[in-house]
């Protein structure tokens, strides 16, 4: 019933309406005497780890590992990722930092106007590998190579950014994640969104889940991606990231193309014609309630926390010598691991969902590398990433 895109505007409006209290209640100071607004005790850039969170994280990891083991019994190999399983391709790129950035943005890899080599993995968010027409969020994971390590002179490290094509996540906190995966493990994932006994609902999560999966996507280079979770921007400041096509795409293209892998085919067509670029933007946190750190399901509205371009990502044109569509490159794309915790300290992940993800991604990545008999390490540079002998 709800798979008609005509529902989308109505659901978007419903989500915006549910978010109104967070926007307007901070404007009414006397209310704070009666209503404790979430996150109002926190400073800008400050995170808060609730008691018992570590135990919940361990329990979520156990549930996910167990499910993954069941889905990949001995003999079913290679063991793939637990989420974002279908890779459309890993494309090599350059990330060029803007010159003359204001000082409040010049932290971590944005500190100097330099150029980094990068590899971007484009993926469908859901777990089973399905035709691209099926509802799913989409993701892009960016790995920068040869980033100078501020702690060790002459050492180079990698830096990851993980983004998806919706501003918020349907799971906002570690407690939400625990409840969600428990419902899923009990075979009743829909009970997380609404259940009569005991009576409970996660209406916002239901709307976010619907909107983030159902919005039709024709071309992965025509959409924007959001980090959803916050990261440090130097000490005492926080930000989120947005990746936005440099050229505004033409909207409204009607029916989705045919072919199970039309998204990869479209990537290939675009890169055969020319290189493709995205603006990389940083959205600074300006208010602890309106732009919370501890709830990834709350949008940091762009009219309240305006994003600023800090870099350009240029995807390389289709390379006939080492095409991103070749089986070898697809295998490299399976091997590579991304993690929100792979960052310079000035861009460290913040908030409960990132604390959870840091641990989960590591565990699942270790598990799949072990199952596939593959050494798990970071590639050092683009040649290393594509080489048959390298990493």
Q: Which residues form the interface with ligand HEM (CB under 6 A)?
A: 81-84, 121, 123, 139, 141, 162-164, 169, 171, 177, 227-229, 296, 337-338, 353, 356-357, 360-361, 364-365, 368
Of the pair 84, 204, the CB lying nearest ligand HEM is at: 84
Secondary structure of 127-176 as H, E, C letters: CCCCCCCCCCCEEEEEEEEEEECCCCCCCEEEEEEEEECCCCCCCCCHHH
Report yes or no: 95 and 118 within 8 Å, Cβ to Cβ: yes
Quote the least distance from Cβ 112 to ligand HEM, whole Å. Answer: 26
CA-to-CA distance for 164 and 83, rounded, in angstroms?
A: 12
Quote the least distance from Cβ 100 to ligand HEM, whole Å. Answer: 29
Quote the least distance from Cβ 225 to ligand HEM, whole Å. Answer: 8
Report residue 24 as tokens.
């307007």
Of the pair 106, 229, the CB lying nearest ligand HEM is at: 229
* Residue 5 DSSP label: G
Of the pair 25, 183, the CB lying nearest ligand HEM is at: 183
- CA quadruple 330, 219, 7, 10: dihedral sign: positive
Of the pair 64, 101, the CB lying nearest ligand HEM is at: 64
Of the pair 81, 270, the CB lying nearest ligand HEM is at: 81
ω into 237 cis (within 30 of 0): no
Of the pair 84, 202, the CB lying nearest ligand HEM is at: 84
Of the pair 228, 266, the CB lying nearest ligand HEM is at: 228
Report yes or no: 84 and 124 within 8 Å, Cβ to Cβ: yes
Of the pair 13, 366, the CB lying nearest ligand HEM is at: 366
Quote the least distance from Cβ 296 to ligand HEM, whole Å. Answer: 6
* Residue 292 DSSP label: -
Quote the least distance from Cβ 140 to ligand HEM, whole Å. Answer: 6
DSSP string computed for 166-215: SSS-S--SHHHHHHHHHHHHTT-THHHHEETTTTEE-HHHHHHHHHHHHS
CA-to-CA distance for 304 and 283, rounded, in angstroms?
A: 10
Nearest to 300 by CA among 105, 100, 119, 44: 44
Of the pair 227, 343, the CB lying nearest ligand HEM is at: 227
What 3-state class would DSSP assign to 118?
strand
Of the pair 40, 326, the CB lying nearest ligand HEM is at: 326
* Residue of this chain nearest to ligand HEM (CB atom): 139
Which residues are bridge partners to 278 per DSSP?
245, 313
Quote the least distance from Cβ 280 to ligand HEM, whole Å. Answer: 14
Angle between helices 53-71 and 352-372 (to 10 degrees): 30
Quote the least distance from Cβ 302 to ligand HEM, whole Å. Answer: 16
Report yes or no: 378 and 158 within 8 Å, Cβ to Cβ: yes
Quote the least distance from Cβ 61 to ligand HEM, whole Å. Answer: 9
CA-to-CA distance for 98 and 113, rounded, in angstroms?
A: 6
Quote the least distance from Cβ 369 to ligand HEM, whole Å. Answer: 9
Quote the least distance from Cβ 363 to ligand HEM, whole Å. Answer: 8
Task: Assign 3-state DSSP to the chain and report helix, strand, coil percentages, each to 5.
Answer: 35, 20, 45
What 3-state class would DSSP assign to 346?
helix
């Amino acid at each position: 019933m709800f798979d008609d895109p005509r529902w989308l505007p109505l659901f978007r409006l419903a989500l915006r309406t549910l978010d109104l209290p967070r926007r307007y209640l901070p404007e009414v100071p006397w209310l704070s005497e009666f209503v404790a607004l979430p996150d109002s005790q926190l400073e800008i850039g400050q995170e808060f780890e609730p008691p018992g969170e570590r135990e919940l994280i361990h329990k979520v990891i156990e549930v996910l590992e167990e499910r993954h083991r069941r889905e990949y019994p001995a003999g079913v190999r290679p063991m793939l990722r637990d989420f974002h399983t279908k890779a459309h391709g890993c494309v090599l790129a350059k990330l060029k930092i803007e010159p003359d950035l204001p000082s409040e943005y010049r932290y971590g890899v944005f500190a100097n106007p330099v150029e980094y080599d990068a590899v971007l993995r484009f993926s469908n968010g859901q777990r089973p590998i399905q035709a691209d027409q099926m509802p799913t969020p989409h993701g892009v994971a960016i790995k920068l190579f040869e980033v100078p390590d501020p702690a060790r002179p002459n050492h180079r490290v990698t830096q990851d950014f993980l983004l998806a094509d919706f501003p918020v996540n349907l799971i906002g906190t570690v407690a939400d994640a625990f409840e969600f995966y428990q419902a899923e493990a009990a075979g009743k994932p829909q009970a997380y969104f609404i259940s009569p006994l005991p009576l409970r609902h996660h209406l916002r999560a239901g709307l976010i889940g619907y909107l983030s999966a159902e919005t039709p996507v024709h071309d992965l280079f025509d959409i924007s991606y959001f980090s959803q979770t916050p990261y440090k921007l130097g000490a005492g400041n926080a930000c989120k990231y947005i990746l936005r096509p440099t050229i505004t795409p033409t909207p409204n293209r009607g029916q989705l193309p045919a072919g199970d892998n039309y998204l990869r085919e479209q990537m290939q067509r675009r890169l055969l014609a020319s290189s493709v670029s995205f603006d990389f933007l940083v959205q600074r946190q300006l208010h602890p309630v309106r732009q919370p750190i501890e709830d990834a399901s709350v949008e940091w509205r762009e009219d309240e926390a305006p994003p600023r371009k800090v870099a350009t990502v240029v995807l390389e044109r289709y390379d006939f010598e080492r095409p991103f569509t070749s089986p070898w490159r697809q295998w490299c794309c399976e091997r590579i691991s991304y993690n929100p915790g792979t960052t310079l300290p000035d861009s460290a992940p913040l908030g409960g969902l990132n604390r959870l993800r840091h641990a989960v991604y590591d565990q699942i990545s270790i598990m799949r590398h072990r199952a596939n008999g593959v050494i798990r390490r970071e590639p050092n540079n683009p040649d290393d990433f594509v080489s048959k002998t390298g990493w």
